[in-house]
């Protein structure tokens, strides 16, 4: 019998590791080609790893909740035949983060052969990666225990310990009393640099642990506010012709294309066309340089079953016609609702659109999705009294209106560009031909 090593696959350029959340097979179980074996979670999305061969699972190398680097062998499958089975699942062009971690681990191995920081030394669990980094940086188990973890169940991740190191190894707790006698003479506890105000809890309060995704979103949003100088511009758009056109063609569209036509793909199609006119909205900031993106990849905020939001990406959105955009929007939205998104589905976005109107909001001030420099919030479409200008004079009529809010990074996008962008979007939408085909 031959043995096949199942490795953790590459899951996007910025993903260097994943957490094992659940094994779907046990040692001794038979597995089929492309059958899911293990569930994993990254800082981007939850996913499954399928088998690349048919055979019997004979070895599991990482337990549940272990953090595994991309490219590491996670299981061994026994297959028919005598020769060693190889599949082109090796990770090429490893992300920079993986190489840096490998260097750190090599440095740790050179210092001592046996890690000095063991899980048995602490009530907390630390992955081999975190323990090796701690050893390489001479971080004691007592200090490691003081690091606040952002991973599942408060687990310390690679990012947590590297951030701790970058901040000068300043422990949230400078001194901890070890006994009652020591407490009387030395009881100095230093607050963390964030100066978080303590929250009082009484017996009637309910304490709810944030989900892993919730913690990641919270961290991402705070980082964005601290990174970008957020400025907003607002504009009101008359979408009466679009509402009339959609009502007229939606049944034919469904029959001919097999897809429901909502307002979202219509608006996303117009946004992509607007970005094409203003490519300096489609950028990222890298220190003192600007990276002008070649592709227009539209992020589309979508709700998950647990109430959290995720941003799947429509790649090369400006190259899609309205039918193609509708299919892409519906596909990503459906897979988001069913927790079926793949890591690649949420990678490489260059501009994000969020539909706050789907919750009835008139408008909002969205936070930029780093490392992008702008995000658009689409408000609810409402019937509004409006002044209508005609050659015969002005009169009051009922029009379908929508508020749009544009948040942009004032470090690189000034008010003129941010304002012209949504003015052009307004012109595109208000000039919609009610007699056009799709």
Complete DSSP assignment for 16-75: -EEEEEEESS-TT-EE-TT-EEEEEE-SS-EEEEE-SS-EEEEEE-S-TT-EEETT-EEE
Q: Is residue 438 part of a domain?
A: no
Q: Is residue 207 part of a domain?
A: no
Q: Is residue 142 part of a domain?
A: no
Cα 250 to chain centroid distance, Å, stands at: 32
* pLDDT of 343: 84
Domain with residue 49: its CATH number is 2.40.50.100
The domain boundary residue, chosen from 29, 51, 79: 79
Q: Is residue 364 part of a domain?
A: yes
Better-predicted residue by pLDDT, 105 or 31: 31
Q: Cα dist. 151→114, 130, 205, 388 in Å?
A: 25, 12, 25, 55
Does residue 141 register a pLDDT over 70? yes
Length of the chain: 438
Q: Which domain holds residue 302?
A: 229-430
Please state whether the predicted TM-score (pTM) of the whole model is above 0.75.
no
Which among 187, 190, 169 has a CA at the least distance from the CA of 178?
187
Does residue 390 register a pLDDT over 80? yes
| Pair type for strands 283-286 and 302-303 | unpaired
Does residue 83 register a pLDDT over 50? yes
Better-predicted residue by pLDDT, 195 or 201: 201
* pLDDT of 186: 39
- Band (pLDDT 50/70/90 cuts) for residue 257 is very high
Does residue 303 register a pLDDT over 50? yes
Please write the tens of the pLDDT for every residue from 117-134.
544 455 566 765 677 788
Per-chain mean pLDDT for the chain: 82
When pLDDT is averaged across residues 331-342 and rounded to a whole number, the result is: 90
Q: Is residue 177 part of a domain?
A: no
Q: How far apart are CA 353 and CA 71, in angstroms?
A: 33
Better-predicted residue by pLDDT, 68 or 185: 68
* pLDDT of 299: 96
Q: Is residue 63 part of a domain?
A: yes
- Band (pLDDT 50/70/90 cuts) for residue 60 is very high
* pLDDT of 103: 54
* pLDDT of 99: 54
- Band (pLDDT 50/70/90 cuts) for residue 76 is very high
Q: Is residue 171 part of a domain?
A: no
| CA atoms in the 13 A half-sphere facing the CB of 175 | 9
Q: How much of the chain exceeds pLDDT 90, in percent?
A: 49
Q: Which residues contact 221 (CB under 8 A, 6 or more apart)?
A: 367
When pLDDT is averaged across residues 367-395 and rounded to a whole number, the result is: 94
* pLDDT of 410: 96
Q: How far apart are CA 99 and CA 223, in angstroms?
A: 24
Q: Is residue 151 part of a domain?
A: no
Does residue 111 register a pLDDT over 80? no
When pLDDT is averaged across residues 245-260 and rounded to a whole number, the result is: 95
Domain count, the chain: 2
Domain with residue 410: its CATH number is 3.30.559.10
Which among 307, 345, 338 has a CA at the least distance from the CA of 42?
345
Q: Which residues contact 119 (CB under 8 A, 6 or more apart)?
A: 125, 126, 131
Six token digits for residue 218: 């919270």
Q: How far apart are CA 234 and CA 361, in angstroms?
A: 14
The domain boundary residue, chosen from 44, 79, 114: 79
- Band (pLDDT 50/70/90 cuts) for residue 189 is very low
């Amino acid at each position: 019998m031959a043995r096949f090593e199942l490795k953790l696959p590459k899951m996007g350029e910025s993903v260097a590791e994943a957490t094992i959340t659940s094994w779907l097979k046990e040692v001794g179980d038979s597995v089929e080609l492309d059958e899911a074996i293990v569930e994993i979670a990254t800082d981007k999305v939850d996913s499954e790893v399928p088998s690349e061969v048919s055979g019997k699972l004979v070895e599991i190398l990482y337990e549940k909740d272990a953090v595994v680097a991309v490219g590491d062998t996670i299981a061994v499958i026994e297959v028919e035949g005598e020769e060693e089975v190889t599949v082109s699942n090796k990770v090429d062009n490893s992300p920079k983060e993986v190489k840096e971690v490998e260097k750190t681990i090599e440095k740790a191995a050179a210092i001592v052969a046996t890690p000095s920081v063991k899980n048995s030394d602490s009530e907390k669990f630390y992955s081999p990666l975190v323990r090796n980094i701690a050893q390489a940086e001479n971080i004691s188990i007592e200090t490691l225990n003081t690091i606040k973890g952002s991973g599942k169940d408060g687990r310390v991740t690679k990012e947590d310990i590297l951030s701790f190191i970058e901040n000068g190894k300043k422990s949230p707790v400078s001194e901890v009393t070890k006994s009652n006698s020591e407490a009387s003479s030395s009881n100095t506890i230093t607050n963390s640099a964030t100066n978080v105000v303590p929250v009082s809890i009484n017996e009637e309060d309910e304490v709810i642990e944030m989900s892993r995704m919730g913690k990641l979103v919270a961290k991402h949003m705070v980082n964005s506010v601290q990174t970008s100088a957020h400025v907003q511009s607002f504009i009101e758009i008359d979408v009466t012709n679009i509402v009339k056109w959609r009502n007229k063609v939606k049944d034919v569209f469904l029959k001919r294309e097999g897809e429901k036509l909502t307002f979202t793909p219509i608006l996303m199609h117009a946004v992509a066309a607007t970005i094409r006119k203003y490519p300096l909205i489609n950028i990222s900031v890298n220190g003192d340089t600007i990276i002008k993106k070649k592709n227009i990849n539209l992020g589309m905020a979508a709700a998950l079953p647990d109430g959290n939001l995720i941003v799947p990406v429509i790649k090369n959105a400006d190259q899609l016609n309205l039918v193609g955009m509708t299919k892409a929007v519906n596909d990503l939205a459906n897979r988001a609702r069913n927790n079926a998104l793949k890591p690649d589905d949420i990678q490489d976005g260059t501009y994000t659109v969020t539909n706050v109107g789907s919750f009835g909001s008139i408008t909002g001030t969205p936070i930029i999705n780093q490392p992008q420099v702008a995000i658009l919030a689409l408000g609810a479409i409402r019937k509004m009294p409006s002044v209508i200008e005609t050659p015969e004079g002005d009169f009051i009529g009922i029009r379908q209106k929508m508020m749009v809010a544009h948040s942009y990074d004032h470090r690189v996008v000034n008010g003129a560009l941010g304002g012209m962008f949504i003015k052009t979007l307004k012109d595109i939408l208000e000039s919609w031909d009610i007699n056009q085909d799709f």
